Structure 1
Amino acid sequence: MQQTLEKLQKTETELASLKLDLESQQSSGVNKNSNENKCEALEAKVEEAKKVVQNMEQELSSIRDRLQQVNQKLIEREKAFENLKKENDEIIIERDKLLAELQYLDQYDSALDDITKVTKGSKILIKLTEVTKNRNQLLVKLEEKENHVKYLNNLIVTKDQEKEILMGSYHKLLNEQQNTSQNNNNLKMEIFLRDRKAQQLQKTLEEEIKHHKAELLNYERRCDSM
């Protein structure tokens, strides 16, 4: 994009130089062939400037495509982030339930200990063993859930960082698109005005050439009549 702008600025400078040369030649009465050559060069520079504007429009279209891609990635990241948060919330709820169950089992275990002091019945001992086993299983499951919650929290932090990076790229591309659009509109207007000036100048030159030809023809006729 920077190279395109530099090329357009160079073309504008050349157009201005050609215009000054033409105006200078008109005022000084330079021959018509030189004026025609300058006019053709001016038209060529106008066409070159139009091509530069066309290239800028293509670059602008490319930037818009990149913006759309970044936008799509942001949408996908948002969905993934929401899913992770939902899963994390569900795991936290399940963890709280497990903690409540463990608290109940601890209370039940304490009551069994008191009963064991009073009686050594085999049924109570078997129940105590089952309760202890269930509690240990719940502790293992709770630890797994805690680890998974930590993993999800780390993953959410990573996704947030990726989202910030993508948002930065998105805003950068958006600013670039806005600047390019403004420059493109200004350049189009400048090219349009220069094109009109070139056409007017060409028309003036053609009229002057026609006038010079008529004068030359009259001069030749006078010479022939002498």
Structure 2
Amino acid sequence: MDVFGEFLGTALLILLGNGVVAGVVLPKTKNNNAGWIVITAGWAFAVMIAAYISGNIAPAHLNPAVSLAFAVKGDISWATFGSYVVAQMAGAMLGTTLVWLMHKPHYDEATDPAGILGTFATGPAIRNDASNVLSEILGTFVLVLAILSFGFYEMANGLGTICVAFTIWGLGLSLGGTTGYALNPARDLGPRIMHAILPLKGKGDSDWSYAWIPVVGPLVGAVLAVLVYGLF
């Protein structure tokens, strides 16, 4: 059930997370142009809801970078890590496809290829590979170190999930403005693949030259967080 839980949770995460982006970015929605605060809050709530639903049957990592951290730390096996990543990728692809299906009339009205891609995957505000990958490393470093550090505190059952949600919200507000804060390889790569596959009107290219940054950056940040955590 762990693998199914990671699949379901990641699908819900992307359904809600990319759903809020689609609502803000696509034309003629009720929340069009609602802004960055709405997007960051929507992603935080997406993490919380997905984790609460899937956390009963899985560890609710919902993120290959988080799973990598626990594998490096020795809490899960590498085989388990691999199965989680496959499930998370598949879930992300399903979640973003559901966003597309729900918003298809609005996608049909969209004329900005960059905006359309932004409802699937992340992209830089200013393209600079070194700066962009550093943004993803730092954001994921803080996220994973926070998740690991929450274990130091005795909390009521379920409170840790709320803490993670607020961490995501804070990261979006504080560090997310440069790259859109993927912090999660599956969150970016799975939907980017679907952007390339789905028959989106006027979609443009999927920006594969940038795609390595929201994959490599979070993985590096996660490993660094585990190393620093080991010093505590």
Scaled to the shorter chain, the TM-score interval is under 0.3
Name which one, 1 or 2, has greater alpha-carbon Rg.
1
Structure number with higher relative contact order (C-alpha < 8 Å, ≥ 6 residues apart): 1
TM-score, normalised to structure 2's length? 0.26
The two structures have a TM-score, normalised by structure 1, of: 0.27
